[in-house]
Structures are given as C-alpha cells and as structure tokens.
Chain A
Amino acid sequence: MEVKLGGNDFFQKCLAQAVFDVFEMMVGMEANHIMDESDDQLSEGDITGVMIIQGDRKAMLYLTLKRNDAAEIVSYMTGMTVAEVTDEDLYDGVAELVNMIAGRAKALLAGTGDHYTITPPFTIVGNGHFIVYKKEVSKFTMKFSAGEAKLYLGLTYF
C-alpha cells in the first residue's frame, strides 16, 4: 500500500522525528516540538537552509533560524567556540542540518513504499527574512526549540 507524500500527517511526524534524531546525535541537544499557533505563522530568521524533495509531488523543505541560534548550534556540533564560528560555517552548518533532517526522514520512511529524492542543500541568507506563500498552497511549518534556540522547519508542496 502506498503512503502518499502529499498532505500526510505521517510524513510530518517523520520529519519531526528526524529533527529530534539529528539534534540528539549531532548536536547533543534535545529538540522539542512547540505546538502553538505559530505552526501557521511566518517563520522569520536570518539563515534558511533549503532542499527540494521530489516524491510523487515536489516539495521544498526549509529550516530557518536566527544567526546567534545557528552559531550556538554549529558550535555544539563541531566543538568550536561561538567566536570561532565563521559565516561560512554557519551557512554550511544550516545546510547540513536540513540535509540530514531530510535524509533521516527519508530513512524513517524506508519500507513504507514511499520514497523521494533530494537535491543538494543550499542556504538563503538575509537578516530578518521570512518566507511568504500563497494561502492556498499546501504546506506546514513546525516550530522547535533546542536549548535556547528556536527553529522553524517548513515543507511547502508545489
């Protein structure tokens, strides 16, 4: 039986699990899904890592966070101090995070007959940028906290 990639709760849960796993294994932090109305809010941040996912539908997966949160997370991942983390490191780190989240979610879907291919990640940088969609577009955003940091993970189908 095929699980449809689009509009499915299950995939969203795999993504949430992927976030927990990536943060636990690579950052050493416990990520928590914050379930409040912000699920529908604009996710505002300074750095966004993006990947395109191609399953039976095409989707864009993104991870948005503020610069200082990204710096803290990268510092934990690598053992560098926050001061040692360069801009390059930040952009690379956020891209790798979304890359691993997508990869991990994909692995969690293994055996379900549902799978997708992913592009290499890229990063969008711009202080206080946010992503705007047409209202009818099918999407979801999840807000997480990890330590003091806040992150937004979103998936938009197109």
Chain B
Amino acid sequence: MKILSVDDSAIIRKIIRNGVELLDYEFIEAGDGQEALAILEESYNDIGLILLDWNMPGMDGLDFLQKIKENSVMQYVPVMMVTTESEKENIIKAIQAGAINYMVKPFTIEELTKKIVECIGEGM
C-alpha cells in the first residue's frame, strides 16, 4: 500500500518518508497540488492515505482537498493534514472539507506513525 506525501518542502517529505517506511508502507511524494493530482489520477487505487500540507504555493492544501473530493474516484482516498496551522477554526475547516485526521508540525516520528495507523487502521 502506498502513502502519498504532498508538501512543498523536500525536507519535510524526507522526514515523513522515515515514518511511512517504518510502518513498511511504500512512500510516494509530490511537491505541489498539481503533481499530486497527476499521481492520484494514475494510482488512486493503490494509495491508502494522503498526508497533505496546507500552506503550499499555487494550489494550497484546502483547495487540493476540495478538488479531490469533487472527483468521483479520488474522493475515497483518505486525507490527513500535516501542517503548522493550528488554529481550531482552521482545523474544523479542514475536517469539514473532508480531512479525516490532523497532525500539527512539529511532530515526532512516533506521533506520525501513530496517526498513520489511526487513519489506516480504522479502515476509513
């Protein structure tokens, strides 16, 4: 099963990779929303979870989320936000837009792995 990390920072994606691979999932990545959409179009069936940054240039995380939720097949891929954004109202916005979980940066790998297992384990 693949886990897709969408974040404009290669360093953050590398850190997330460590957590994903610790759980023995296959890691794939995208530096922005457009790239992520292209990946999803091809492999939406194999992707078990999207870890999505909020503040990205161009299409931000919320726009991306709304876009995939409008897509007939992509909408079923679960999404967890991974972001510095911590304000409650924004967390609510993200959940209402369809994110199933939320993790704030900075995070430990331990927390990341727990959250991934929470998302996938619940079979959402």
Q: List A residues at the B interface (Cβ < 8 Å).
A: 21-22, 25-26, 74, 77-80, 88-89, 92-93, 95-96, 99-100, 102-104, 106-107, 110, 115, 118, 120
B14 within 8 A of A: yes
Whole-angstrom distance between the alpha carbons of A96 and B53 in the complex? 12
- Contact status B107-A78, CB under 8 Å: no
**In the complex where A26-B107, A103-B104 touch, is A92 in contact with B86 (Cβ < 8 A)?**
no
Q: Is the CB of A120 within 8 A of B57?
A: yes
Are B86's CB and A77's CB within 8 A?
A: no
- Known contacts A100-B106, A103-B106, A104-B84; 4 additional CB pairs below 8 A are A77-B14, A78-B11, A79-B14, A79-B18
- A107 to B106, alpha carbons, bound, how many Å? 11
Per the bound structure, the CA–CA distance linking A29 and B58 in Å amounts to 34
A110 near B84 with CB under 8 A, answer no
| CB-defined contacts of B55 to chain A, threshold 8 Å | 120
> Which residues of B lie under 8 Å from residue A79 when comparing CB positions?
14, 18
Interface of A (DSSP majority class): helix
Give the most central of B11, B55, B85, B104: most A CB within 10 Å. Answer: B11
Q: How far apart are the CA atoms of A74 and B15 in the complex, in Å?
A: 10
Would you call B10 an interface residue if the criterion is a C-beta within 8 Å of the partner chain's C-beta atoms?
yes
Alpha-carbon gap, A107 to B57, bound state (A): 22
Q: Could you tell me the distance between the alpha carbons of A102 and B18 in the complex, rounded to whole angstroms?
A: 24
Contact A89:B10 (CB < 8 A) given known A22-B106, A26-B106, A79-B18? yes
A103 contacts B9, CB within 8 Å? no
Q: By the criterion CB–CB under 8 Å, are A77 and B105 in contact?
A: no
Q: Which of B62-117 contact A (CB under 8 A)?
A: 83-88, 104-108, 111
Determine if A99 and B15 form an interchain contact, defined as CB atoms under 8 angstroms apart: no
Closest to A78 in B: B14
Closest Cβ–Cβ distance, residue B27 to chain A (whole Å): 13
Q: For B15, what are the chain A residues with a Cβ–Cβ distance below 8 Å?
A: 26, 77-78
Which 3 pairs show the lowest CB-CB distances between chains A and B? A103-B84, A107-B86, A78-B14
Contact A103 B18 (CB under 8 A): no
A148 to B107, CA, bound (A): 23
- Closest approach, in angstroms, between the C-beta of B52 and any C-beta of chain A? 16
The answer to whether A99 touches B84 (Cβ under 8 A) is: yes
Q: A25-B107, A89-B11 are in contact. Are A78 and B18 (CB under 8 A)?
A: yes
* Cβ of A111 to closest chain B Cβ, rounded Å: 9
Q: Tell me whether B12 is interfacial, beta carbon within 8 Å.
A: yes
How long is the Cα–Cα vector from A93 to B15 in the complex, in angstroms? Answer: 11
